[in-house]
Amino acid sequence: MNTLLEQELGAQRPGPELADRMVRRVRARLDAPANAAALLAALRRIVLARPMQLAYAVLLLAAMVKSGSMITGERPPGISTEMTRPVAAIGSAGGADTDRRRTADDKFAMNTELKEEGILQPGNRPVGAPAFAGRTDMPRSFAAPAPGDAVDSLVAAGATRHFGWKDTAADGSLAAAAAPAESGEGGAAAGAAALALPVAEPQPGNRKLIRDASVQVEVADYAKAAASIGAFATGEGGYISTQSSNRGANGKLQGSIEIKLPPERLDDFLGKLRGLGDVKSQNLTTQDVTKDYFDTGARMRNAQVEEARLIEIVKNRTGKLSDVLEVERELARVRESIEQMQGTLKYYDAMVQFATVTIALNEKDLNTPAQYLLKQRADLSLYSKDVDAAFARARQIAASAQAQVLDSNVQRDDAGRTTATLSLLINPDAAESALGQLKDLGRIENFTSATQRIAQGGSDNADGAVRTERDKVEAHLTILKDEENSVQQTEIGIQTADIEARIAALKKNASDMGAEVKGASFQSDPSGAEFGTVQLRMPLRAYAGVLAAVKHLGEVKNLSTHRQEGATVSDNAPAEMTVQLFTEPQVVTPDDGLWATIRRTLGEAAGAVAWSVRMIGVSLAFFAPWLLLLGVAAVCVKLARRLRRKS
């Protein structure tokens, strides 16, 4: 067998030239120009190389993390692209970090305020984050009342004293006046317009005035008078709110009726009341709550933005449970605050919508002819740009009316604001004229006229004429410094660094450009986040320059502009700007020592790894059914091919 194999296989043995032949052939093959197949082979070697395989694995994991993130909609922890609240945010969106927990007491530590004037009242102080971003309702623009509105003259019978507010009609001049203010910015204006939130529709007559009146009327027939009052109220678009009556010891009916009606119909209603009987006394008050109303509205909107941010933090929570609980406590407090302010606004709306007239009715006791002394007191508050000049003029009016000056006073406070008061006793014949002239001295803030008829014996039902003697009119005048309401309000949020330096630079630039700094504040919290506010007031002609300077402070995050409509606006009309500066949120807060920082960073890294693993799991769970389906399909195809081959 061995011999046979050696003989047969040995015959096939190649000669010694095999090696030479192989060398030549291999050399020729290697020297041949590269062709497509060789290039493909080279490419295949590169693609299948071990380092490339590792890169494929990393890419696959990253793709799975990304797909998991897209499926769940979650963002990686510790990274936030929206503005983080620098002060009021409690805890953070990513990573367990015990060092960043803050108690309620030290939450707003290092709160430094630079109050220039008393503009930043305690109620208006910004508590926490910027007050915009995402707001959908804007403060209503309000029409500035034209100074020296026409008022009705004093009625000699002393029944009523009233005045009316007139709303200036929109004539389109505001748009023309505002355009030059923005045209100087060019592209900046376009950018500002792009960033501006939609402006709410303006409401006519946006001043909030609460009007009340109380009247005492003596009538012959109580029931008839009460019915007439009801009819008067209905006719003027009002209604009876409350009504009560009782019969006195003398058998006469007396009672009280409260009427609610539109404030613009109040004067007509009071005029009708005079026809019912004798008006024994009348008191008319008007309370201007405009400032309080809009301040409350602005604070409520700030709180709503804060609430939205807290809800977002709670929803995306990845921190410790204690941080989450702290956020929820803050959220409850903010919600309570919002509800309180909403209640206040509703109360104001209700009170402004309807004037209240309280009527005290009593039946006359007719015996002897009545004698009355009519006493009148008028309280008038005015706004004037020049208090001293208005006060001097008031003295002249008093002198020309031969009024007796009971008190005269001019006060100046530390901020340079002047207030003047003047108390007079005016002869009844000259009172109407004198009061009319006094009202023309400035913009009326409040006017109250109270008329009291003091019975001095007798009865209205007795025979004989009723005698009424008019006493001197007591007039009290208060003149206040008028600050015209701004025609344009702008709020802008800037993200930048070194807030204090930016505030100082802004104040300097604003002053150089003719703007007045009304107030400024600065806050920082233990996490290193800083927050500052500067309030500016400037003529409209300086608005564009100031806005451009503000935008250079950093990155504009929010910009909203509210413009008054319905009034003539000049380049000198005042505009107000609230600039809110805040720092970029820090992922790793500065804290004590290197180890604390390393600890926090490791914690956040661990959180990020855990999050990535979770996303990979989500991705696997999402794609597993598809992979299973593809695997089953591949097996079926393979089986089918095998069966076909066998057959």
Partner 1 sequence: MVIRAHSRTLFAIAFAILHDREEAEDVVQETFVKAFRSRWRIRKADRLPGWLSTVARNRALDLLRRRRPIACPEPAAVDSAPRAADAADAEETRELLHRTLATLPETHRIALTLRYLEGLDHKAIQQAMGLSDGALRGILGRGLATMRKALKPSTSPALE
DSSP assignment, residue 369? B
The amino acid that residue 469 corresponds to is E
Q: Decide if 604 contacts 77 (C-beta within 8 A).
A: yes
Q: Could you tell me the CA-to-CA distances from 217 to 257, 312, 455, 484 in Å, in that order?
A: 11, 60, 13, 40
Minimum distance from residue 642 beta carbon to partner 1 (Å): 17
Taking the C-alpha atoms of residue 44 and residue 36, their distance in angstroms, rounded to an integer, is 12
Scanning 21-29, 289-297, 419-427, 478-486 for contacts with partner 1 by CB under 8 A, the matching segment is: 21-29
Q: Is 5 exposed, middle or buried (0-12, 13-18, 19+ CB in 10 A)?
A: exposed
Q: Could you tell me the CA-to-CA distances from 397 to 383, 439, 442, 450, 596 in Å, in that order?
A: 17, 11, 14, 21, 75
Interface with partner 1, residue 466, by CB under 8 A: no
Scanning 25-33, 87-95, 329-337, 383-391 for contacts with partner 1 by CB under 8 A, the matching segment is: 25-33
**CA 158, 365, 222 angle in degrees (round to 5)?**
75
Scanning 15-23, 103-111, 143-151, 469-477 for contacts with partner 1 by CB under 8 A, the matching segment is: 15-23
Scanning 9-17, 373-381, 590-598, 627-635 for contacts with partner 1 by CB under 8 A, the matching segment is: 9-17
Q: Where are the alpha helices (DSSP H) in 1-49?
A: 2-11, 17-31, 36-47
Interface with partner 1, residue 4, by CB under 8 A: yes
Between 26 and 602, whose beta carbon lies closer to partner 1? 26
Lookup: tokens for 402: 């031969």
Interface with partner 1, residue 18, by CB under 8 A: yes
Scanning 17-25, 151-159, 433-441, 560-568 for contacts with partner 1 by CB under 8 A, the matching segment is: 17-25
Interface with partner 1, residue 8, by CB under 8 A: yes
Between 52 and 104, whose beta carbon lies closer to partner 1? 52
Cα 166 from chain centroid (whole Å): 27
**DSSP string across 511-541:** HHTT-EEEEEEEEE-TTS-EEEEEEEEEEGG
Site for partner 1 in 27-86 (CB under 8 A): 29-30, 41, 45
Between 48 and 466, whose beta carbon lies closer to partner 1? 48
Site size toward partner 1, by CB under 8 A: 24
Minimum distance from residue 590 beta carbon to partner 1 (Å): 51
The amino acid that residue 644 corresponds to is R
Between 40 and 405, whose beta carbon lies closer to partner 1? 40
Minimum distance from residue 52 beta carbon to partner 1 (Å): 15
Interface with partner 1, residue 136, by CB under 8 A: no
Minimum distance from residue 53 beta carbon to partner 1 (Å): 14
x-marked contacts with partner 1 along 600-619 as a string, rule CB under 8 A: --------------------
Taking the C-alpha atoms of residue 239 and residue 262, their distance in angstroms, rounded to an integer, is 10
Minimum distance from residue 47 beta carbon to partner 1 (Å): 15
Taking the C-alpha atoms of residue 204 and residue 167, their distance in angstroms, rounded to an integer, is 7
Q: Could you tell me the CA-to-CA distances from 79 to 307, 465, 586, 587 in Å, in that order?
A: 21, 89, 10, 7
Minimum distance from residue 195 beta carbon to partner 1 (Å): 60
Between 3 and 244, whose beta carbon lies closer to partner 1? 3
Binding stretches for partner 1 (CB under 8 A): 1-10, 12-14, 18-19, 21-23, 25-26, 29-30, 41, 45
